[in-house]
Structure 1
């Protein structure tokens, strides 16, 4: 399955072009043009309440880029098309999530889950025993992976799982794309285990909630990192660590967040000071730009840069969030090829999603150890 067309990707609008006047390949492939992003249901401010017979409606909304709460065996997830950067950015906006922590991508089968990651024998063994079920695997991301970079917080890894809830599996089959889904609650609130809980926090902020009754497990999935030589338990959850150790042997344990940030030794959700750090140095707060700099712009771009990637010419923070990681990677690759000295970053307002964008940019600009 290829990427579907997205709002603003052409339709008579002038597409963004690089310094040479051409449409950047990464931008064209992602279908992200410089338009002001608007979620189609926001003008109504109404969240549809769907039942088990409305799976097709929920799947259609997800394919259109809308956000849908849906049940899993653990908690209700806030689903968005993981291949659509604007939908993923919408998840962070709806939750009020303060950082771009990696999101878990949900699939209807192990075969589908492993299509975009490198699954070794350990991954296939635990998947055989615990999928469908409350286990998330963090695995190396393949170059051909269709999941948007924002869903993985710019990391070269991806968190994947196959839920056990039959309604969720049917929804995922009908969507036909990876679905990114953190818990369907406002950031910092208690995770929801009923559709009513979802509506308490997100009514009017998402397109729909698919009511599948109470979640039987009630705690989030176990998260297992299989990117290194030894398996590491990042988060305890619905699958006991002892059950995994019976298959793989002793599990390593994640460092406390403060220690991991200090040492930058652990690639895990929200624990690294610097997630994806570009090869070029990053200069924040640029109000002017030199000819040997690549520019990451927001709003009207500063003149004089060697090359420019505009997060949002219209100054839309949701669009900017959806284009952040792709922009950093494109400027790093193209800027390096053209001999640029650094990436200069224009200021982004630190309100709403702007705070998360600023946090990510500070991590990208952190001193290299």
Structure 2
């Protein structure tokens, strides 16, 4: 057991100047706290919580088996669910993880040029005598890697000079954390430090693509949309295929998010699709399931659902996720956690169209929901 300490850091005090791989840090407290976390990564096998632009990560050295084991242990995460490696620069990626003289496949060049640093994860082959722990890759021949844009994440990885394996910093199956307080709620006593850099901007995990396949694949939608990949990747990504299939229990997967239940609150999540203003569909569900007036129901609405007041106050709590995809992405996990921690029994969520950011939003909601009601069927 640890006495988990939250270390405050100022995201605005950390800068990476163009062409430089080491940060400039102007705030003494921020520098001191990042150094504490970096030392923990270098000198121990204890994972730590830290902010990224997507969600908070639970990071440990990607090169040490014991560090990776402790990530899985803290999260109670299945060991066959691979992890994403985070690097602070392309130079670090080449120096620390790739074989000498290995060239990153040309299919990735435009994506890297246009979308790194950022919420994009690519698959690369595990080279012969790779230093990456096989526990990161779940013994597969590829590894997933990204260069985060969050200054605190990059500074932590740069100052420790340690490629960091990092899933989201939540208890396994729980909604991903977008605040340091979410990490503390799930992992208090299981990790020594959490770097608190405020709220995450994107709110959903990174997009994972596989350019080693033909045609190239989107294995997990996330911070960049399918349209973003096509637009920024060049002609070779024009025929990218989105892999919607969820892997079977005994099937190996190359990236997180393709297996197991994810993003789930304790309360039952009911997802509504194509249900207009929601009044009829929610009312019908309440009636057909004999929900008592004492049942606590939360509503997370976005583009079309009307206020819960129209349901004669059967909804206890209501939260507006926003109308734009970026707003819904940013607010989704935090809202799921907030209403769940308020002790509701059921969470109604309005679904969105699977275009632009909606593809990633619906990917997460489909995994969180126990029941999906489609008004078009």
TM-score (normalised: structure 2): 0.57
Shift of 1:258: 4.6
SS in 2 for 1:74: coil
Partner of residue 331, structure 1: none
SS at match of 2:228: helix
Match of residue 71 from structure 1 = 51
Contact 1:113–1:161 (8 Å) recurs in 2 = no
1:244 aligns with 2:223: no
Residue of structure 1 equivalent to 2:66: 86
- Pairs within 5 Å for 1:12-161: 42=1, 45-52=2-9, 53=30, 54-63=33-42, 64-115=44-95, 116-117=97-98, 119-161=104-146
DSSP 3-state at the match of 2:131: coil
- Contact 2:48–2:192 (Cα < 8 Å) also in 1: yes
Residue by residue, what CA displacement relative to the aligned partner does 1:273-332 show, whole Å, maximum 9, x if unpaired? xxxxxxxxxxxxxxxxxxxxxxxxxxxxxxxxxxxxxxxxxxxxxxxxxxxxxxxxxxxx
Does the CA-based 8 Å contact 1:137-1:160 persist in structure 2? yes
- Kept in 2, the 8 Å contact 1:80–1:179? The answer is yes
C-alpha contact 1:80 1:180 (8 A) present in aligned 2 = yes
Q: Residues 92-115 of structure 1: CA distance to partner in whole angstroms, max 9, x if unpaired?
A: 010011342110000001232345
1:199 has 2:184 as partner:
yes
Q: What is the CA–CA distance in structure 1 between the aligned matches of 2:112 and 2:142, rounded to whole Å?
A: 17
Flag the 1:196–1:65 CA change in 2: closer, same or farther, 3 A. same
Provide the C-alpha distance between the structure 2 equivalents of 1:149 and 1:138, rounded to a whole number of angstroms.
15
1:187-246 Cα distance to aligned partner (Å, 9 max, x none): 010100011110000010011100111101100000001222321000000011111112
Per-residue CA deviations over 1:66-107 (Å, capped at 9, x if unaligned) read 111000000000000111100100000100113421100000
Whole-Å separation in 1 of the counterparts to 2:8 and 2:137: 30
Secondary structure in 2 matching 1:209: strand
1:173 pairs with 158, 162, 166, which one?
158
In the alignment, which residue of structure 2 is the partner of 1:315? none
Distance 1:180 1:245 in 2: 27
Q: Residue 257 of structure 1: SS of its match in structure 2? A: coil
Q: Secondary structure at the match of 1:170?
A: helix
Q: Tell me how large the CA RMSD over aligned residues is.
A: 2.2
Match of 1:234 in 2: 219
Shift of 1:251: 0.7
**Preserved contact between residue 147 and residue 178 of structure 1 (Cα < 8 Å):** no
1:224/1:235 contact within 8 Å kept: yes
Q: Is the 8 A contact 1:102 1:270 kept in 2?
A: no
* CA 1:267–1:172: 2 relative to 1, 3 Å: closer
Are the structure 2 counterparts of residues 143 and 205 from structure 1 closer, same or farther at C-alpha, using a change threshold of 3 Å? same
**Contact 1:92–1:100 (CA<8 Å) still a contact in 2?**
no
**5+ residue gaps in structure 1?**
1-41, 273-369
Contact 1:67 1:87 in 2 (8 A): yes
For residues 239-281 of structure 1, the C-alpha deviation after alignment (integer angstroms, 9 at most, x for no partner) is 111111122212112251257967x7x7554769xxxxxxxxx
Question: After TM superposition, which residue ranges in structure 1, 4 or more long, deviate above 3 angstroms?
Answer: 258-262, 266-272
Whether contact under 8 Å (2:6, 2:196) holds in the other structure is: yes
